Amino acid sequence: MVELADNGALHRFEMHMGGEIASIYYVLQNNRLVLVHTEVPQALAGRGVGATLVRAVLAEARRQGRRIVPRCDFIAAFIQRNPEYNDLVAEADPDGVR
């Protein structure tokens, strides 16, 4: 089984697979994970690695009691297709910024 690792020095969650690293970059802001970019190496493309990575990161956010801000289009689309994760999405701040 492939495990999720939080590489805090690089501000990214990582999954190591066959010598490749799939990652989601984040910024921690007011106890919220701002998910800014998903990166899956070409060697792993088309195998569901991105979705597996997103599921693992969202599960980790839930475990930590954090809300998320999906700035990455891939993650936003994933959540739209999988509404069971909607409860993790942070409400807009009073100034309207998410």
pLDDT single digits (tens) 35-79? 999 999 999 999 999 999 999 999 999 999 999 999 999 999 999
Instruction: Provide the residue type at 58 as one letter.
Output: L
**Predicted TM-score (pTM) of this structure:** 0.90
pLDDT value, residue 98: 47
pLDDT value, residue 93: 58
Structural domains for the chain: 4-88 (3.40.630.30)
Nearest to 54 by CA among 31, 33, 25, 75: 75
52 membership: H or E segment, kind and range: helix 49-64
Instruction: Provide the residue type at 29 as one letter.
Output: Q
